Amino acid sequence: MITNQALEPKTDWQKKIYTVIFEADTPSGKLFDVVLIASIVLSVIAVMLDSVAGVRQSYGSLLYGVE
């Protein structure tokens, strides 16, 4: 864990956000991790599908939006 005081959250909302992002042992932290991983996987799938010319021709704008 980084102990630099400049990075320590100071306000209540900063502490809540810090907890959600960096503490994976809380329910909200676990949900954040799952949503982040799902977003990354969805983005990678969209990029893979976009590399196929036929799929890009039919769904290019949708894939661009998903990316």
Mean pLDDT per 10-residue section of the chain, whose length is 67 residues: 66 87 86 94 92 91 87
- pTM score over 0.75: no
- pLDDT value at residue 32: 92
- pLDDT value at residue 35: 94
CA–CA dist 41, 63 (Å, integer): 13
Q: Please, is 29 exposed, middle or buried when counting C-beta atoms within 10 Å of its C-beta (0-12, 13-18, 19+)?
A: middle
- pLDDT value at residue 34: 94
- In sequence order, the 6+-apart residues with CB closer than 8 A to the CB of 33 are 24
